[in-house]
Amino acid sequence: MTDIAAIARQKPVQAALASFTSQLDEIIDLIIQVQQIPAPTFAEGQRAHFVAQQFATAGLVDVQEDDLHNVYGRFPGTNSHLPPVILSAHTDTVFPQETDLTIRQENGSIYGPGIGDNSTGVAGLITLAKSLWAHGLHPAADLWFVANVGEEGMGDLRGMRAVVQRFGSNGRYIVVEGGIFGFVCHQAIGVRRFRLDFQAPGGHSWGSFGRTSAIHVMSHLIAAIDQIKVPESPRTTYNVGVVQGGQSINSIAQSASLWLDLRSEDVIALQALETQVRQLAADLQVRFPEAAVTFTLVGDRPAGSIPRDALLVTWAEAALRQVGREKIEYFAGSTDTNIPLSQGIPGVCVGLARSANVHRLDEYLDPSDLPAGLGQLLLLTLAASGM
Ligand SMILES: [Zn+2]
């Protein structure tokens, strides 16, 4: 088994690890450069173009941007017969194009929308590529660096779906998130998202009183969903995140809609939850025959996992310890790792630094752990590539 400590003892590796501290200011500059380019989900092109230039400058070969604006670049390994290691970070953010991306620095932290999630992850990949060349490190397997689109919101992991389709089951996936240093994710929760549309005859609030209202029927369903007892283990959740509908205060609503997010650590439990919701909707239609409810699937992130003692997970953990991190936390999440894990392909998601207020305008990055986070990523990459 690959020994992380032995890799870390090698002189060039030590030099690379040290460079993450000595070059911290430049690395932070790069993070900010990435962050300054708007990249809402479905409009990642401008940021992708910048990353492609950076990949080429960092010495990666076969740099290419696909139709979705996924950016690929290869660091050639010494043994072309080995399955590749795919290192990915998502380029998209939850912030609309017009968001003010101005940053401010305070108490050593950097505030700015998207600074941790995931400008730090993207800049981390570029930094890793540069340091492999700079320190003459030679992984055995090819490393594919990928800056992918579509991780957030309604992106539904479309970028990563294309990446996994490209490389197939052949390979190991290391997904990099900027803000979760100390965490290792090897368990992908399943997510099913729906838009539910309610139709009803409606009418005048006074003159047609008693006719079925789409909003009232929808409210019955929300109240019923709220009564569902979900298991604590496997952790299973529901949320109605958005509601819309109605025409005016004095109209009985003809239409309404809600956005529903269902999640579980377990495929079967997720299916059971969805079945319950569909049954509640069917019951309502019996009760309100004039109403109609339709389900549209708008997001489907499949569940999957590899065991805690899988090689990738043990390397990620050993690499964290090697860079001085005592406390290691495992989490089940919805990340790009869902796609390989759900297909039985090994994958793990790791972080680079600490960030907070993620998905908010006052998001900030505390870069103090960043050298250790990059160190973990380097050691994990070298172990996974069979150095
Ligand atoms: Zn993210």
Residues 20 and 134 in one domain: yes
Which DSSP symbol is given to 117?
Answer: I
Q: What is the distance in A from the centroid of ligand 1 to the CA of 229? A: 30
**1 pLDDT tier (thresholds 50, 70, 90):** low
Both 241 and 379 in one domain: the answer is: no
Q: Could you tell me if 58 and 131 lie in one domain?
A: yes
Mean pLDDT throughout 245-257? Answer: 98
Distances 122 to 78, 100, 114, 351 between C-alpha atoms, Å: 25, 20, 11, 11
Measure 121 CA to ligand 1 centroid, in angstroms. 8
Residue partners of 125: CB distance under 8 A and separation at least 6:
87, 88, 89, 145, 147, 176
| CATH number (domain holding residue 234) | 3.30.70.360
Please say which residue of 273, 301, 329 terminates a domain: 301
β-bridge mates for residue 179, sequence order: none
Which helix (H) or strand (E) segment holds residue 256: the answer is: strand 255-264
Dihedral of alpha carbons 278, 281, 283, 286, sign: negative
Q: How far is the CA of 387 from the centre of ligand 1 (A)?
A: 28
pLDDT at 146: 98
Q: How many other C-beta atoms are found inside a 10 Å radius of the C-beta of residue 282?
A: 10
Same domain, 312 and 285: no
Place of tokens 């990459």: 381
Give per-residue pLDDT as tens, 326-344.
999 998 999 999 999 999 9
Q: Which of 301, 326, 354 is the last residue of a domain?
A: 301
pLDDT band per the 50, 70, 90 thresholds, residue 59: very high
Q: How far is the CA of 246 from the centre of ligand 1 (A)?
A: 35
Q: Which domain holds residue 175?
A: 4-189+303-384
User: If residue 262 lies in a helix (H) or strand (E), which one and from where to where?
Assistant: strand 255-264
pLDDT, tens digit, 9 for 90 and up, residues 124-149: 999 999 999 999 999 999 999 999 99
The rounded Å distance from CA 330 to ligand 1 centre is: 16
End residue of a domain, out of 268, 301, 334: 301
Measure 233 CA to ligand 1 centroid, in angstroms.
25
**pLDDT band, very low/low/confident/very high, at 153 (cuts 50, 70, 90):** confident
* pLDDT tens sequence across 258-314: 999 999 998 899 999 999 999 999 999 999 999 999 999 999 999 999 999 999 999
- Mean pLDDT for the stretch of residues 209-235: 97
Query: Ligand 1 centroid to 152 CA: how many Å?
Result: 7
Residue 87 is part of a domain; what is its CATH number? 3.40.630.10
* Same-domain pairing of 136 and 281: no
Q: Residue 246's pLDDT is what?
A: 97
311 alpha carbon – ligand 1 mean position (Å)? 24
User: What is the spatial distance between Cα 138 and Cα 214, in angstroms, rounded to a whole number?
Assistant: 63
- Decide: helix, strand or coil at residue 380: helix
Place of tokens 């690395």: 27
Same-domain pairing of 40 and 161: yes
Instruction: Provide the number of structural domains found in the chain.
Output: 2
Residue pLDDT, tens place only, 90-119: 999 999 999 999 999 999 999 999 999 999
SS3 230: coil
* Cα 107 to averaged position of ligand 1 atoms, centre (Å): 24
Q: Are 78 and 182 members of one domain?
A: yes
Q: How many residues does this entry show for the chain?
A: 387
Question: Separation of 199 CA from ligand 1 center, angstroms?
Answer: 36
DSSP 118-170: IIIHHHHHHHHHHHHHHTT---SS-EEEEEE---SGGGTTHHHHHHHHHHTTS
Q: CA 207 to CA 199: how far, in whole Å? A: 19
Q: Report d(CA 307, CA 357) in Å as an integer.
A: 30
In this structure, the answer to whether residues 242 and 136 fall within a common structural domain is no
Closest C-alpha to 221, from 277, 161, 294, 140: 277
Q: How far is the CA of 130 from the centre of ligand 1 (A)?
A: 22
Q: What is the pLDDT of residue 170?
A: 87
Query: Are 176 and 316 in a shared domain?
Result: yes
pTM: 0.89
What confidence category does residue 224 fall into, taking pLDDT thresholds of 50, 70 and 90? very high
Residue-averaged pLDDT of the chain? 96
pLDDT band at 387, cuts 50/70/90? confident
Residues 180 and 263 in one domain: no
Q: Is the pLDDT of residue 193 over 70?
A: yes
User: Cα(20)–Cα(135) distance, rounded to whole angstroms?
Assistant: 12
| pLDDT of 192 above 80 | yes
Q: Are residues 129 and 273 in the same domain?
A: no
C-alpha 210 – ligand 1 centre gap (Å): 48
246 and 206 share a domain? yes
